[in-house]
Structure 1
């Protein structure tokens, strides 16, 4: 039976989340919480469904607002659970004609098959690469005639962001308050490379000390400035910033499947592939 999630289901959903964590190939977009109280609070903001089996909940799926539509949390399901397709269809109904996004590990074949049966199509693959900080930091210096900064005016950030032609266009809508709030976070750093007064590129860094990791969430080099080693310099400078936090040992980056120059950069810098995530999309109903 498919039904809305209740408070009494939290322990069963936690068990599914922990089961997912045991193997990378089971990964789906899912709640962050791994504590019963935190999970209950997190689920209160979303529309959550579960699938009952003979001995309790055997699958979970939820929807929450995302970009121009909704994103699926899950589906998470015990091996061999029947009714996963119906659970997905019930969750997709909540979109009411809006676009539906989903994310899962490239090797999660069972979920990928279920998503495609529910009408979602693969959009792109995002590959993740990582390296020990010690591999990258020896090159952490600004090229001759350049300087390193920690801040950009919003308009300069927007201009460089736009010129770098990344698909993450939501940043272009940020106002001054959002911009300042983002870079005021304790876990976020901005590393700017300048030639004279002109910014030629920047790297955004997010620190995850509990996982001994820092992520380069965005790396931008102006198209007219590419081919001069700025990307590799920014990677090294980001690693050096991460190294100032003793808990952090590894730097991780990402690239979509169409970003060949970024992939080549990461290979040259000594990062190795560690993870692949598929993005799925069900287009919205134009009449909705």
Structure 2
């Protein structure tokens, strides 16, 4: 039976989350909470559904949360149960909004259920990792360049726009939103300038709980490419993370079409650690 999640289901859903955590190939986008109180709070204002077995125990879970221009799917997560039926019920509750989903490339059960329910794979994102200390030892600012930690919102947008046509998310941010983002304690910006003009930047998000720094963006102006500035920015970002002893690894990501980023991480000695497929179900496509 598929029904809305109840407060008393929290222990069963937590058991499913623990089961997922035990094996990378079971990964899907899922609630962050790992205790009952936090899980109840996180699910309180969301559409959360479970599949109940014959014995009354929860066999599978999925949920919907706000994301970008629509919703993001949590799950489908289950050791059994009717995953396609659970997804179909979630889609009904999406009210026609676009629904994104994320699953490990090797999570075949979840991916088959998503595709059976009309979700289309958009791209695969590969993740790479390396020790912060090893990368930080390579940190050098080339002659003729200056490293700084500041960009005006206008300069940030211009470099962001020039560096990669596929990027668009930050272009809609206001000056105040950009300034607030870079004022966060867990965000760091490393900028290279030449002749007073910004030519590249690397952006970090610090995650002490995971002992990790995430390289969220690397941008090099097209006119400056071919001079290994990507590797320079990567090493400078690692040196920034090395100021925090609790951060032991640096993680970077690249979509399947981002061949220069993949080459950068390979040449810098990062190791591939996981792959995630992004899915979208968009019933609004083709509407006038």
Question: Which TM class, normalised by the smaller chain length?
Answer: over 0.9
Distance between the aligned counterparts of 1:170 and 1:278, measured in 2? 19
Q: Is 2:122–2:278's contact at 8 Å kept on the other side of the alignment?
A: yes
Distance between the aligned counterparts of 2:174 and 2:287, measured in 1? 31
Q: Structure 1: which 5+ runs fail to align?
A: none
SS of 1:139 mapped into structure 2? coil
How does the TM-score come out when normalised to structure 2? 0.96
For 1:50-61, list aligned pairs within 5 A. 50-53=50-53, 54-61=55-62
Distance between the aligned counterparts of 1:93 and 1:167, measured in 2? 31
Please state if 1:25 is matched with 2:25.
yes
Tell me how far 1:287 sits from its aligned partner.
4.2
Distance between the aligned counterparts of 1:191 and 1:274, measured in 2? 25
Please state if 1:204 is matched with 2:190.
no
Please state if 1:220 is matched with 2:219.
yes
For 1:1-288, list aligned pairs within 5 A. 1-53=1-53, 54-78=55-79, 81-285=80-284, 286-287=286-287
Distance between the aligned counterparts of 1:60 and 1:82, measured in 2? 9
SS of 1:28 mapped into structure 2? coil
Distance between the aligned counterparts of 2:131 and 2:35, measured in 1? 30
Distance between the aligned counterparts of 1:151 and 1:171, measured in 2? 16
Q: How many residue pairs get matched?
A: 286
Distance between the aligned counterparts of 2:182 and 2:248, measured in 1? 22
Moved more, 267-276 or 174-183: 174-183
Tell me how far 1:122 sits from its aligned partner.
0.8
Q: Structure 2: which 5+ runs fail to align?
A: none
Give the aligned CA root-mean-square deviation in angstroms.
1.2
Q: Is 1:135–1:270's contact at 8 Å kept on the other side of the alignment?
A: no
Distance between the aligned counterparts of 2:153 and 2:35, measured in 1? 38
Distance between the aligned counterparts of 1:284 and 1:95, measured in 2? 10
Deviating above 4 A after TM superposition, structure 1's stretches of 4 or more consecutive aligned residues are none
